[in-house]
Amino acid sequence: MTSVLEELTWRGLLHDATEGAGAHLAEEPRAVYIGFDPTASSLHVGNLVPIMGLVHMQRAGHTPIALVGGGTGLIGDPSGRTAERQLLTKEDVAANGGGIRRQLAHFLDFDRGDNAARMVNNLDWLAEWSLLDFLRDVGKHFGMSQLLAKESVKSRLGSELGLSFTEFSYALLQSYDFLELYRRESVTVQAGGSDQWGNITAGTDLIRRVDAGKAFGVVFPLVTNSQGTKFGKSHSGNVWLDPKRTSPYRFYQFWVNTDDADAVCYLKYFTLLSREEITAFEEQVASEPHRRAAQRALAEDVTRRVHGADGLTRAQQATDALFGGDLSGLGADDLADVFSEVPSSTVTADALSGDGVALLDLLDETELTSSRGDARRAIEGGGMYVNNVRVDDVDRRVTSSDAIEGRFVVLRKGKKRYHLVAAEG
């Protein structure tokens, strides 16, 4: 058995662990679980740390169990939340759980003999409880002073937004999940983000009290970037693992754009590269930063895992074409291929004939600019390009002579944001 906590430690993935967790995990194969909130039908890059946590557990010989909070998702976890949550419907939760399982399959092996990953849904056991039984059998073991002392509860009680009884009860449900998994699947370790520490230790306490059992908790750090801003957001919002929500191209670009200061850290977090390989990249970042070898390796590794070799290839082709600069060598078919990853809109071929259509009108149909005033300013500021040629006239018109092979016009704002306009009809 390799020591999984040692592995997590050098990768910077270990934030805290309950006493004895390291020895417990080093001793023999265990079952480890992490809960995922089914608030959306897709996971996003913010979930990658816990996912990688499970990956490391499986590689070390433990059995990873992903719990989808079908029951708890109906309640909502107050941890790290400033306001009461919207409640999800049961149908939402069920559908979202299915999406999450498909994505986890890219990371975890669900077929591997001894320690295949498993997926469980806490709705399966939480739904069976009656309120009276739950209060008698589970609630009885929780002291109010301990519950009130939890950071997530304290901060919400102090704020004007308050905390409903529903969300307050969340810790009981999560604790009970741990107990249930301890009993039915012999799960002895729960992992999660550092914000889950309170919920996890509440679970280990419950197991000790009710079953006199030993259970452990391991938590990962919250990922930040060197700017101290939130990780996992791009200009278009969350970066999702679902290619329908975030195209492989944009996903790849998200990683390529990682700061130098964060690149090595992210390689440790999000890839399975060895210590030696990562050290080599660290040296490259220092000696020849302009090559951006670490960022490329990071983007390549993560994109391949999430979107497959095929998705990676398409993302890289698009990148080469777009950042190579010159579009003139590309035919319409190449363009269509490359830009399949990029947002697009259509215009009728008729509209482009003669005087064509005002660029401002064309931009109205895109998400490149938020208003005509915004579009005007972008052009005046020299930040707008047609077919990679800077536009210097606010009243620029786009005609059929701009359309490559009569089919496509490429709009670009700034260095990186592209939009493809297809002529139809």
Q: Which residues bind RNA (CB under 7 A)?
A: 160, 227, 229, 235, 253, 256-261, 289-290, 292, 295, 319, 323, 360, 370-374, 376-378, 381-383, 413-417
For RNA, give the closer residue by CB, 49 or 298.
298
Give the H or E element holding residue 197: helix 197-211
Q: Which residue, 236 or 353, has its beta carbon nearer to RNA?
A: 236
CB of 267 to RNA, least distance (A): 14
CB of 40 to RNA, least distance (A): 23
User: Residues 364-385, buried b or exposed e (16+ Cβ, 10 A)?
Assistant: eebebbeeeeebbebbeeebbb
Instruction: State the number of CA atoms in the 13 A half-sphere of 2 facing the CB.
Output: 11
Q: Which residue has the tokens 């390796």?
A: 297
How many Å apart are CA 257 and CA 178, to the nearest integer?
39
CA atoms of 362 and 365, how far apart (whole Å): 6
Nearer to RNA, 8 or 256 (CB): 256
Which residue, among 159, 189, 200, 213, has the nearest Cα to 77 in the 3D structure? 200
For RNA, which is the closer residue by CB, 244 or 415?
415
Phi and psi at residue 249, to the nearest 5°: -60, -50
Q: What is the DSSP letter of 140?
A: G
Of 395, 424, 423, the closest CA to residue 410 belongs to 423
Beta strands per DSSP E along 204-343: 216-220, 233-234, 237-238
Phi, psi of 424 (to 5 degrees): -125, 155
- Shortest distance in whole angstroms from residue 19 CB to RNA: 39
Closest CA to 107 of 121, 120, 119: 119
Shortest distance (Å) from residue 321 CB to RNA: 10
Q: Which amino acid is at 376?
A: R
Q: What is the smallest separation between the CB atom of 377 and RNA, expressed in angstroms?
A: 4
Cβ distance to RNA smaller for residue 295 or 344: 295
* DSSP 8-state class, residue 404: B
First to last CA, the chain: 64
Instruction: Kindly tell me which of 128 and 259 has the beta carbon lying closer to RNA.
Output: 259
Q: Using the minimum distance from each CB to RNA, give the nearer residue, 74 or 338.
A: 338
CB of 414 to RNA, least distance (A): 2
Q: How far is the CB of 408 from RNA (least distance, A)?
A: 21
Q: From the CA atom positions of the chain, what is the Rg in Å?
A: 25
Smallest distance from the beta carbon of 367 to RNA, in angstroms?
12
Please, what is the minimum distance in Å from the beta carbon of residue 369 to RNA?
A: 8
Least distance CB 218 / RNA (angstroms): 31
Contact 217/204 with Cβ under 8 angstroms?
A: yes
Which helix or strand (DSSP H or E) is residue 146 part of?
A: helix 144-149
Q: Record the tokens describing residue 117, joined without a space.
A: 């990953």
> 102 or 154: whose CB is closer to RNA?
154
Q: Widest CA span of the chain, in angstroms?
A: 83
Nearer to RNA, 392 or 405 (CB): 392
User: Rounded to an integer, what distance in angstroms lies between the CA atom of residue 291 and that of residue 72?
Assistant: 46
| Burial readout 189-214 (b: 16 or more C-beta within 10 A, e: otherwise) | bbbbbebbbbbbbbbbbbbeebeeee
| 257 versus 353: smaller Cβ distance to RNA | 257
- Nearest distance from residue 284's CB to RNA, in Å? 11
Which one, 360 or 421, has the nearer CB to RNA?
A: 360
| Residue 305: alpha-carbon gap to chain centroid | 13
